[in-house]
Structure 1
Amino acid sequence: MKNHLLLFICLFISAITMAQELNSVIGVVVNASNDEPLENVNIVNLNQVKGTATNKEGSFQIVAKVNDTLHLSYLGFKSIKVRVTNDWLKFGSSKIELTELALALEEVIVNELKLTGYLEVDIKQVPIVNNNYRYSISGLPSGYEAGKSSTITKIIGSIFNPADFLHRMFGKNPNEMRKLKKMKEDDEIRNLLASRFDREMLMALLQVDRVDLDEIVSQCNYSKGFIQTANDLQILDAISECYEEYKVLNRSRK
């Protein structure tokens, strides 16, 4: 009888401990200038790799524990990171303010073609448009996208060094690669990424800057056209697919 009671107490304490360690926080996101609630603000827990969005009242609820970091982003507003505290978990809802960004138009320079009338000279002024191709590799479920101008280089790179840059980027911190898997499995994260093209959420989740993120996809032999037009979900899937193919080829080489 004592053994059963002791077991019950242990299970009860474990359940309480787990509930305290992993809970959920609720909050309201508003415009800092007028205190109006903001709908469809993207919110991601960078530690738990969980995502959600605010409703019409600006309210949200997301899985979190103490010291987790929430990343909040909304079009036209400055993105922020918020740390989850004991008080937040204990006392309930918290109001979070987002500040509007000043809109600025970048200068656009238009270069006109100066035609001479000589075909040999004028044709050199016409920009070269590279068609994108995708090459398959035996033993892999899909191939690599590459530009026409460097076909041989791309194919050889795909076989012998398909994602070494990706491996170098995350090799010292394999937790980031585990995040890729979690991101792919979370429907809410995927829905948020599918509607975005700014790479901001991806950069926050993977802890890389925009230059490194573009370089990762480029080194995986995806074309510049794909990188420029793909949404954030397509970029996520491209990186994940590239890493999985890298592991397949790496095992075969060993």
Structure 2
Amino acid sequence: MKKLSFLILLVFTITSLTAQTDKKLYAKVVNDSDDTPMPNVHVVNLTTIKGVITNEKGEFELTAKADDIIFFSFLGFKSIKVRVTNDMLKYKGSSTIRLTELAYALEKVVLTPYKLTGYLDIDAKNVPLRPNYRYRIAGLSTGYEAGQNAPGAISSVLGAIFNPADFLQKVFGKKPKQMRKLRQMKEDDEIRNLLASKFDRQMLRELLQVERVDIDEILSLCNYSKTFITTANDLQILDAINDCYEEYKILSREKKK
């Protein structure tokens, strides 16, 4: 009886381990309105931090296991998250992911006219300048931006000079688990390629489990200018956050010593 119980337990354990083994997920992404295949859709496994892009037929394959969360995003379409099931892994190519197109309202654009005289020397002097300045702190490799687009940066820099560890603790102290994903994301070429073409911060928010306002606050406290925060692509944002986080880890270790 004991041998039978042990055998049953062994079979159950092997079955459970096998079920948890990573497999290939094969699926197709289509436009929900007309069922047309969608190429170049960004597909990321949020559990393993691995990503791919759909081919011209809207198809993709990605390493995954049951209960992994897959994130789908494409410009102009609503991003979605899908939990992987055993059926999706078992039946190759049977899964179809549908993305819904977003409706955008055009915002009012205000153009500010500048009167030009036609003389380069005079017109060049009259063009308004909005410079951003980059400051550096001895002992830190990260620079700090200031200027009209980051008017509070100088006071932040001065605060960082006197207590840099506490300054960065405010930024990253409450999000240690999420920020540890940065290194893995930074070293994955596929993820970097995906982020290089994105500007909406959606994938970063899902990967780091933070809100858009948190990303802006992190960059602001790390003294990146408003211009950089609003115009940089997601890969540049990732690298900026990573650089600031690396400084935080160094200063935290030194403070503990």
Give the TM interval when normalised to the shorter protein.
0.7 to 0.9
> Aligned in 2, Cα 1:18/1:234: closer, same or farther, shift over 3 Å?
farther
Name the counterpart of 2:17: 17
Among 205, 208, 215, which residue is 1:206 paired with? 208
Cα distance in 1 for partners of 2:111, 2:144 equals 34
Q: Give 1:150 shift.
A: 3.8
Q: What secondary structure does 2:43 align onto?
A: strand
Query: C-alpha distance in 1, partners of 2:188/2:159?
Result: 32
In the TM superposition, 1:1-254 aligns within 5 A as 17=17, 20-93=20-93, 94-108=95-109, 130-147=130-147, 149-150=151-152, 152-159=154-161, 160-161=163-164, 162-170=167-175, 174-254=176-256
CA 1:142–1:209 in structure 2 vs 1: closer, same or farther (change >3 Å)?
closer
For residue 19 of structure 1, report the CA deviation from its aligned partner.
7.6
For the structure 1 residues 182 and 214, does the alpha-carbon distance in structure 2 shift closer, same or farther, using more than 3 Å as the test? same
- 1:34-60 per-position Cα deviation (integer Å, ceiling 9, x unaligned): 111001000111111111110001000
Which shifted more, 80-89 or 102-111? 102-111
Taking the aligned partners of 2:190 and 2:249, their CA distance within structure 1 comes to 27
Give aligned pairs, total. 228
Displacement after TM superposition at 1:166 (Å) = 2.5
- Give the 3 Å change call, closer, same or farther, for CA 131–112 of structure 1 in structure 2: closer
Question: Equivalent residue of 1:70, what SS?
Answer: strand
Deviation at 1:91, TM superposition (A): 1.6
Once superposed, what is the RMSD of the aligned Cα atoms?
Answer: 2.6
- TM-score normalised by the chain length of structure 1: 0.80
Q: Which runs of 5+ in 1 are unaligned?
A: 1-9, 114-127
> Which residue identity does 1:61 align to in structure 2?
E
Assess if the C-alpha contact under 8 Å between 2:29 and 2:59 holds in 1: yes
**C-alpha displacement of 1:97:** 0.8
Residue type of the alignment partner of 2:74: Y
Structure 2: segments with no counterpart, 5+ residues: 1-9, 115-127
Query: Structure 2 CA distance, aligned partners of 1:44 and 1:175?
Result: 19
- Deviations, residues 32-86 of structure 1 (Å, cap 9, x unaligned): 1111100100011111111111000100011211111111011111111111001
- Deviation per CA, 1:85-113: give whole Å up to 9, x if none: 01111122211111111232123456899
Identity %, equivalent residues: 56
**Which residue identity is paired with 1:156?**
L
Contact 2:50 2:191 in 1 (8 A): yes
How far the C-alpha of 1:17 sits from its partner, in A, is 3.2
- Contact preservation (8 Å) 2:25, 2:62: yes
Deviation at 1:202, TM superposition (A): 0.5
User: Does the aligned pair in 2 maintain the 1:158–1:221 contact within 8 Å?
Assistant: no
| Higher deviation after alignment, 153-162 or 242-251 | 153-162
**TM norm structure 2:** 0.79
- Between the aligned partners of 2:212 and 2:142, the Cα distance in structure 1 is 26
Query: CA contact under 8 A between 2:45 and 2:64: conserved in structure 1?
Result: yes
Instruction: Report the equivalent of 1:4.
Output: none
| Partner Cα distance (2:173, 2:130) in 1 | 29
Q: Distance in 1 between matches of 2:232 and 2:74?
A: 19
SS for the counterpart of 1:138 is coil
SS in 1 for 2:217: helix
